[in-house]
Chain A
Amino acid sequence: MSRAENEAYWGSTDTAPSALDNFFDEDCEVTWTGITAEFTRSPQSRHSKTTPDGNSSSTSSIVDNITVHSVSDWNYVEVKGGRSNTSSSSSQSVSGVGKVIGEKLDSWKPPSVSIKWNSSQGQGSGPCVQCAAKDTEIVQLKKRLENSYSRYNLTLPPDDTVNRILLGQPYSLESYRSLEDKLALLDTALGTMDGSAVMATILHLKKTVKKTIFITEMQARPQACNLFTNYLRKRHKYSEAIEFLGSLGKPEEAAILSYELALTGKTPEAKMKNMEKSLETHFAVPSVSFEAKMVKNHMKLLGRQLAIDEADSKDQTNPMLLKYPRAANVVDKSLLTTLFYCCMYHWEAGETHIGSPLALRKAHDLSDRELLWTALKGRARVNHWPLPSELDSWLGSKGLLGALGSLSSAFGSSGKILPKGIKATLPMEVVVHTLHSSRAPSNVLAVYIGLVDNLESRLKLAHNYKCHQAVIDVHVAQKDRSALEQYMKEIPSGSPEYLKAESALKMVKWKN
């Protein structure tokens, strides 16, 4: 399609289509390695330009002009129409606003007498020409002073200074020396809600008053506290932020932040050590008991993952490890991912084994639901689809019925005995779907479909996943001979399912 056609279609030349194929996108790897150019010009590409060299067009996206400079891949997208590297020295002729003002300031000498910004105006009485001239001069000088501002003892009203910060003009906070002035400045800044002004005034306050005053005043201004804490965080001044939150009387936030700091450890061992320290110093408050428990769990899990990894990396005998080489280290993965890993590699292991799924369950108080879902998926990965009975006995036989605690008690507070096991725990239709998409064999599917109580939905599922066995089972259960006979036409004769259906036809007592 020609460029003209593009225009006709999109209606205007300077709209996006010409850049259609080459918008930037930091996530798109293709774009960054310069391969884009190829597909951009592929003839199928409806919106691509057909100009032969692709760069004579009036609009081009920035992205395909980005020079890639990753260390590993010095793949330059050479600049088209290459500009020479020798640049003119004209850069010196112009310098930014900031510099101009800076120079002005340098050349300006402070007056020996302090001039207050609000000194009385035009008090000169009497129609004296000279006086009038002097007055005008004073007014002018005053204006100039205000405009150029002083670093020394010329105090502008807080409004003006905050406005200057807001507008990116030069300002000075040095002259706000009384606490009252500083707080007025801070409150004015908070009134505008501009983070830039608020931060500048907070830092000024912090630099110039003692800690207790700083804390007291900040405490009264929660919005400022939040901003300041996040500033410290982003500057990686964690310990200062934690201390600040602590002295504000926010132990909960301090605790979470200390956990965040602990996680910045480079190695898992360092993380564990940090967490232990953080638990001792910051998580002792009762209001974060739940969070403390979670952090403890995290440590416990990391410890176990390290042990599992240590054992498995040396293990030469475990057939599963040989057959399915480990894709990744289990360290730093989530609890359920760890369980998934354990179900893959240590399904048979006894509870004393470090990698045993059941041991993991015991240590971390996993619910049946979490356990069953993960076991199903983990086993499917190694092409094993345990039957419900197998799973149920795996769950129960290890003497863990008592430990089913948390989950079932949520429903069973009335004291009635609840059915346990996979059928009661998981939504069977979703299970069947998961099994099917993990390519579980038809006979396994049939067993799981059989766990659905409602015959209608069972039949629907069976048809949906083309599970002959399950369909036959339903028809038999419904005693519906004609439906079964009808369905047999779809089964290849001679197949095990067909034979089964045939024998069912003879055995069962039909209603039609």
Chain B
Amino acid sequence: MSPPQSLGLDVEILRRLSSDRLVRVLEDAPGAKDLIIDGDLMKMLDRIAGATLLRSHGVDKMYRLERVPPPVQSSQRVYLVRPSLLQLKILADHVHSDHAAHPDLHVHVVVVPRLVSWVTGLLEEEGLYGALTLHEFCPDFIPLDDDLLSLEMTSFFRDAFLEGDFSGCVDVARAINTLQGLFGQIPYVLAHGRAAKAVMPEISHLFIFDRDADYVTPLLTQLTYEGALDDHFGINAGVVEFPGEVVGQDAPRKVPLNSKDTIYDNIRNKHFASVSSYLITKAKEVNAKKEQAQNMTASQMKDFVANELRTLQSCHATLALHLRACESITKSVKQDFETQLTTEHGLVTGASNAGQARKFLKNCLARMQPLTDNLRLFCLYSLTQDGLSPKDYKQLASQMLAAHGHKHLITLNNLRQLNLLCATESSASSTGVNRDSSGTNIQGRLAQVTSLLPKKGQGWRAAAKRLRLIPDPDKTIDLHNPSDPSYVFNGAYTPVMAKVVGEALSVRGAFTQTLLDSLKVLPGTTISRAAPPGSPVGPHVALVVMMGGVTYTEVAALRLLAVTSGTRIIVASTSTINGDQLVSGVVHK
């Protein structure tokens, strides 16, 4: 299942660009210096530059930014921070406490990605403006793979969708601009959503979606191999940390996951159910080859050892690693995994009744299953029911608080702000009006008019129908040799991204009006732009940007789409995300 990689464009350039820019910033503070790094930036920095590179540009010691300031040993100190008020306050405290003992210490602050107004404001309030040297370091997209780019802005979802700070969009726009600068302008653009709109003015081609266009996908349990790895072990910036039992050692080990590993490349997008059989078949092939070696002549053997043995051995090790990972996942899935899946998919397709799902959820709550699992199911239940009745909401909410602590009243409020949860107004009043509206009174008409307006948090089901996200239940979906993107959810649901991109790519040229109309059911507005007819069109390479985090499930669905549509699809996002990260991003700590 390898996408048409032949189509141009070497994304590794992006890594070099970022790394060069980082070096330039470091050289702005010439000479030896200590580096103090915001924990949030660690993974990203490691993908851009290694410690050796930093050392060759004068970095002496490196510390992680914590409340207690590290000892002063160099005459210069460089802080690398996100523009977060909390982190900056810590930084300011450091500077104050160090100043007494080391008045000559020169402090540089590098804000990643951008110096924003509240950073300077805070420093001014702290009396530090002018005393510190300020810098910016704006990284480009970091290639996690040939077809997956990430800005590693893990807090973007919370910042933008919950707290209304869309300043990250400027950086996404900048990054997309760089892409265009490198690879030329792209003639067709389709952007949908609030955040997506903010990116638009700076760019001129591609697909851009907001995370809130499709909350259902991250809430569902991931069923592709890569998705399952992410759900169980967590993939951070393209690297998974396997526990000791999987790597066959005492200590956990970090393993990069990308297409350079051909075995992994073959299984990453497979449905989890077909991974282990594939691995076993492969392992048998490897063993067979090794056995052949037993009957070899001396010269054959020499040749074999020189060429093939190494490959075979590493193959063997990789196969064993993934088999153990599969085993570990299978073992750790909940005993009622089947019920969980049936419930989730039943909710989405509407096949099973909501009462059963509610009962299942109540049991999960009473059993104190992990908070994020319970919140995910609660949100999925609310979304797919187009909002909950006040009675339902209150009952489930109070059980949620009983199981996980009352402070999560704030969490529930956050989820309601995001429309992930929604309690509808009591239906009593509206039915009252309806009864009257049989006549021609104004009240009745008014009610009719208002009912046409989209209600907050409602209408997921209508949207799913309009966009045809739920495949025909009579059509069988082949999970092992998939041809339809909905295989990622056992044929119960197609991620919005995959659906819209698929529709758009199926027509060569401008986006059809039908497609643009159907997007109206999603929150936010649409912007589309097409090249004037007759203008030259390059190779089919699509850039799909997700604002607020993309799941590996969506990446898998788009990879399948790349094959079926003969298009190279590059997915870019503010970060990769899974359901637990989505939900825990807004949990009250």
Q: Which residues of A contact B (CB under 8 A)?
A: 1, 5, 8-12, 15-17, 19-26, 28, 30, 32, 39, 42, 44-47, 57-67, 69-71, 79, 81, 83-88, 90-91, 93-96, 98-99, 102, 165-166, 168, 192-197, 199-200, 203, 223, 226-227, 230-231, 234-235, 253, 256, 259-260, 263, 290-291, 294-295, 297-298, 301, 332-337, 364, 366-367, 369-370, 372-374, 377, 406, 410, 426-427, 429-430, 433-434
Contact = CB atoms under 8 A, between A and B. Distances in A.
B433 interface: no
B158 to A, nearest CB: 10
Interface residues of B, number: 109
B61 A67 contact: yes
A65 B75 contact: no
A313 B368 CA distance: 26
Contacts of B365: 370
Chain A at the B interface: SS class: helix
B28 A192 contact: no
Contact of A17 (B74, B108, B256, B368): B256
Interface stretch (B281-289, B406-414, B568-576): B406-414
B183 interface: no
Interface string B222-239: 000000000000001111
Nearest to A290: B394
A194 B167 contact: yes
Contact of B46 (A19, A94, A298): A19
A342 B397 CA distance: 23
Given A8-B310, A25-B43, A79 B256 contact: no
A20 B253 contact: yes
A81 to B, nearest CB: 7
Interface stretch (B132-140, B455-463, B515-523): B132-140
A9 B309 CA distance: 12
Nearest to B358: A410
A334 B404 contact: yes
Nearest to B115: A168
A294 B406 contact: yes
Interface stretch (B30-38, B325-333, B437-445, B471-479): B30-38
A91 B29 contact: yes
A251 B550 CA distance: 35
Contacts of A1: 314
Most buried by A among B29, B76, B118: B118
Given A11-B260, A12-B260, A17-B256, A367 B51 contact: no
B409 A256 contact: yes
A68 to B, nearest CB: 8
Contact of A195 (B164, B260, B397): B164
A87 B51 contact: no
A94 B28 contact: yes
A315 to B, nearest CB: 25
B336 to A, nearest CB: 6
B51 A65 contact: yes
A187 to B, nearest CB: 15
Contact of A26 (B42, B249, B250): B42
Given A88-B31, A193-B169, A66 B406 contact: no
Interface string B79-90: 000011110000
Chain B interface main SS type = mixed
Contacts of A99: 130, 133
B413 A96 contact: no
B305 interface: no
B62 A62 contact: yes
B164 A227 contact: yes
A263 B248 CA distance: 44
Which residue among B86, B167, B169 has the maximum number of chain A CB atoms within 10 Å of its CB?
Answer: B167
A282 B110 CA distance: 41
* A-B pairs, 9 with minimum CB distance: A195-B167, A196-B116, A226-B164, A298-B406, A200-B117, A195-B165, A193-B198, A16-B256, A335-B402
B368 A336 contact: yes
Interface of B: 28-33, 37, 39, 42-43, 45-46, 49-55, 58, 60-64, 66, 68, 70-71, 73-76, 83-86, 106, 108, 114-118, 121-122, 130, 133-136, 159, 163-170, 194-195, 197-198, 236-239, 241, 248-256, 258, 260-261, 310-311, 314, 317, 335-336, 362-363, 365-368, 394-395, 397-399, 401-407, 409-410, 413, 588
B389 to A, nearest CB: 11
A60 B54 CA distance: 10
Given A69-B71, A96-B134, A259-B410, A85 B32 contact: yes
B76 A59 contact: no
A199 B29 contact: no
A88 B76 CA distance: 10
A196 B46 contact: no
A69 B63 contact: yes
Given A65-B62, A168-B115, A193-B198, A294 B401 contact: yes
A96 B115 CA distance: 13
A367 B260 CA distance: 53
Contact of A42 (B108, B238, B249, B335): B249
A61 B256 CA distance: 13
A226 B414 CA distance: 12
Given A256-B409, A406-B395, A433-B335, A91 B30 contact: yes
Contacts of B66: 69-70
Given A93-B30, A165-B117, A370 B50 contact: no
B554 to A, nearest CB: 23
Given A260-B410, A290-B394, A62 B51 contact: yes
B32 A333 contact: no
Given A15-B260, A335-B401, 12 more contacts: A5-B314, A20-B256, A23-B237, A61-B46, A62-B51, A69-B71, A85-B60, A87-B74, A227-B163, A259-B409, A335-B405, A433-B336
- Which of B241, B249, B366, B401 gathers the greatest number of chain A CB atoms within 10 Å? B366
A39 B63 contact: no
Given A24-B42, A96-B28, A230-B164, A66 B409 contact: no
A91 B164 contact: no
B402 A369 contact: no
A260 B366 CA distance: 25
A87 B50 contact: no
Contacts of A10: 260-261
Contacts of A334: 368, 401-406
A98 B134 contact: yes
B50 A19 contact: yes
Contacts of A298: 401, 406-407, 409
Contact of B50 (A59, A79, A256, A295): A59
Given A15-B256, A90-B30, A96-B28, A196 B42 contact: no
A168 B171 CA distance: 12
A67 B63 contact: yes
B169 A62 contact: no
A301 B46 CA distance: 46
Contacts of B395: 406, 410
Contacts of A91: 29-31, 75-76, 106
B368 A337 contact: yes
A366 B588 CA distance: 24
Contacts of B409: 256, 259, 291, 294-295, 298
Nearest to B250: A39
Contacts of A83: 32, 55, 58, 60
Contacts of B261: 10
A266 to B, nearest CB: 15
A87 B163 contact: no
Nearest to B165: A195
Contact of B406 (A166, A301, A367): A301
Contacts of A295: 406, 409
A71 B336 CA distance: 45
B70 A23 contact: no
A83 to B, nearest CB: 5
Given A39-B251, A81-B55, A294-B409, A193 B402 contact: no
Nearest to B335: A433
